[in-house]
């Protein structure tokens, strides 16, 4: 038996029928076809499924969809505005901070939440803010470099 | 995952639903324990009771005597960012920042961390040295055991059918107290403690050493553990080499660690002593006047 729920995804009000046991990740990927949010470990360990709920980074693979009823969810698809990449996306491109790209959506959302609350973080604060996002390609240095570059305003349009 | 979900607005309603279906209904907040258990087939609840809609569970209140009442459902990251925690309950603030990662901390709570009752729970050692109480609501009303009496074993607590944690009560710390939490793990984030120690120290003219300590350790016994023998040694005399050795011996004698994939019991036992001394040194350095 499915249950009706509404939530705002990337600024758009969505009303959908969900299974009570469905996770937010499943609803985003399978019902709303927003496949930018990745299923990595599916156990809340790797951070690939990170999205923002009311501006706070949350792990969508362990969050039940019905728990975000009426809340505001932002995914990687909503980060660019009017066709222009977010300054974090610009910085990731310029610094070579993405390789295979699987962790990148989660990393970008964690970084966006960090900068929203702390516009000029220290390197240590960047590392702490991104500690929940595992990357198996880059060794993390370029990711941290890119977040610092974005915080300095490089790549601002 | 195949279950029904209930989303009550009050503690009483949540308790009623949980009590009606003992064994078949489980409470959930962030899902970092329950959703993972269900996905791995380790538990098969018929009903999941979502506690995130209950206002009472997200309240933080001054108790009027210098203590603090923490709602069991306040996200750990929200607690970690509260200035009154850093100022008056520093050991707890440090421990909360040691939990998992930022997104995990936004989706986890003290109620969940304590109810899961992992011997490695980061919040437990600081709450033990702060002598916290746990308010529990159930079909028979509310009760308030000391946290020291709450844990019964690995993943076992005094919570009965239909009972949930509603608040964690921090009594006012002793005047001038400073605390710390040290976590020893293989990596700095997203890892469980191999050993953890919380220490709280305060000036006390009646102690021979001039300073009194409370110590607690995690991940070295079936439950998080207070270390009373080491506390007494620290109160009894100056912190010289002899006292340090006695503290180390007392900690090593109190812990009952296991061998597992993450570390050997002998290693955990020695590290518990090392971490306890480091925590004591750290507290002494931050105490005003640099006692001892």
Domains along the sequence of chain B with CATH: 4-50 (3.30.43), 55-170 (3.30.465.10), 178-286 (3.30.390.50)
Residue ranges making up the domain that contains A17: 3-78
Task: Verify that A38 and A68 share a domain, yes or no.
Answer: yes
Interchain contact B4–A (C-beta under 8 A): yes
Please indicate, yes or no, whether residues A124 and A64 belong to a single structural domain of this protein: no
CB proximity B189 to A under 8 Å? yes
Residues A99 and A133 in one domain: yes
**Is pLDDT of A45 > 50?**
yes
The minimum CA-CA distance between B8 and chain A, rounded to whole Å, is 11
In a domain, A102, yes or no: yes
pLDDT in tens, B36-93: 999 999 999 999 999 999 999 999 999 999 999 999 999 999 999 999 999 999 999 9
CATH of residue A129's domain is: 1.10.150.120
State how many domains chain A has. Answer: 2
Q: Please indicate, yes or no, if residue A112 is contained in any of the structural domains.
A: yes
Write the DSSP string, chain B: ---EEE--SSHHHHHHHHHHSTTTEEEESS-TTHHHHHHTTS---SEEEE-TT-GGGG-EEE-SSS-EEEETTSBHHHHHT-HHHHHH-HHHHHHHHTSS-HHHHHT-BHHHHHHHT-TT-TTHHHHHHTT-EEEEEETTEEE--BGGGTEEETTEES--TT-EEEEEEEPPPPTT-EEEEEEE-SSSSS---SEEEEEEEEE-TTSTTSEEEEEEEESSSSS-EE-HHHHHHHHHS---HHHHHHHHHHHHHH------SS--HHHHHHHHHHHHHHHHHHHHHHSTT---
Interface test with A, best of B39, B51, B102, B103 (most A CBs within 10 A): B103
Asked if residues B136 and B165 have their Cβ atoms less than 8 Å apart, the reply is yes
Residue-level pLDDT at B262:
86
Has residue A147 been placed in a domain? yes
% of chain B at pLDDT higher than 90 = 91
Name the residue among A21, A47, A114 with its Cβ closest to that of B2.
A21
Last residue of a domain, one of A26, A43, A78: A78
Q: In this structure, what CATH number is given to the domain that contains residue A9?
A: 3.10.20.30
Q: Please check whether residue A156 lies inside any domain of the structure.
A: no
Per residue in B17-42, pLDDT tens? 999 999 899 999 999 999 999 999 99
Predicted local confidence at residue B188, as pLDDT = 79
The per-residue pLDDT for B57 is 98
Residues B163-220 have pLDDT tens digits of 999 999 999 999 999 999 999 998 878 888 999 999 999 999 999 999 999 999 999 9
Contacts of B4 in chain A (CB under 8 A): 20
Does A71 lie in the same domain as A7? yes
Domain boundary among A78, A105, A133: A78
pLDDT computed for residue A112 by the predictor = 98
* B5 to A20: CB separation less than 8 angstroms, yes or no: yes
Same domain? A7 vs A69: yes
Return mean pLDDT, chain B: 95
Confidence (pLDDT) at B158:
98
């Amino acid at each position: 038996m499915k249950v009706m729920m509404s939530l705002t995804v990337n600024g758009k009000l969505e009303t959908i029928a969900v299974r009570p046991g469905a996770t937010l990740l499943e609803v985003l990927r399978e019902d709303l076809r927003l496949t930018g949010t990745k299923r990595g470990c599916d156990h809340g360990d790797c951070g690939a499924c990170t999205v923002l709920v009311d501006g706070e980074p949350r792990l969508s693979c362990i969050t039940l969809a019905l728990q975000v009823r009426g809340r505001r969810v932002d995914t990687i698809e909503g980060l660019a505005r009017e066709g222009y990449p977010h300054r974090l996306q610009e910085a990731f491109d310029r610094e070579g901070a993405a390789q295979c790209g699987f962790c990148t959506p989660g990393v970008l959302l964690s970084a966006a939440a960090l900068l929203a609350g702390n516009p000029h973080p220290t390197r240590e604060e960047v590392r702490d803010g991104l500690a929940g996002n595992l990357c198996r390609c880059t060794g993390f240095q370029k990711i941290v470099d890119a977040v610092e570059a974005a915080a300095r305003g490089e790549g601002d349009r | 995952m195949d279950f029904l979900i209930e989303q009550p607005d009050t503690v009483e309603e949540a308790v009623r639903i949980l009590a009606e279906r003992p064994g078949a209904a489980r409470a959930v907040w962030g899902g970092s324990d329950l959703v993972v258990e269900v996905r791995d087939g380790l538990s098969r609840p018929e009903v999941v009771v979502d506690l995130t809609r209950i206002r009472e569970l997200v309240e933080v209140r001054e108790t009027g005597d210098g203590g603090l009442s923490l709602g069991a459902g306040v996200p750990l990251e929200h607690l970690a960012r509260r200035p009154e925690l850093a100022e008056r309950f520093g050991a707890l603030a440090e421990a909360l920042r040691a939990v998992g990662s930022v997104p995990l901390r936004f989706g986890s709570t003290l109620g969940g961390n304590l109810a899961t009752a992992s011997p490695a729970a980061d919040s437990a050692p600081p709450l033990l040295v702060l002598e916290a109480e746990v308010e529990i609501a159930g079909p028979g009303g509310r009760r308030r055991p000391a946290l020291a009496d709450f844990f019964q074993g690995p993943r076992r607590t005094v919570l009965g059918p239909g009972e949930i944690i509603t608040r964690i009560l921090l009594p006012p710390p002793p005047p001038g107290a400073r605390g710390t939490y040290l976590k020893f793990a293989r990596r700095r984030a997203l890892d469980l403690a191999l050993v953890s120690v919380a220490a709280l120290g305060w000036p006390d003219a009646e102690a021979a050493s001039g300073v009194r300590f409370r110590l607690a350790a995690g991940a070295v016994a079936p439950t998080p553990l207070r270390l009373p023998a080491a506390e007494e040694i620290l109160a009894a005399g100056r912190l010289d080499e002899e006292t340090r050795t006695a503290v180390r011996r007392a900690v090593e004698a109190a812990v009952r660690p296991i061998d597992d994939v993450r570390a050997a019991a002998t290693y955990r036992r020695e590290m518990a002593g090392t971490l306890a001394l480091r925590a004591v040194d750290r507290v002494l350095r931050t105490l005003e006047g640099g006692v001892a």
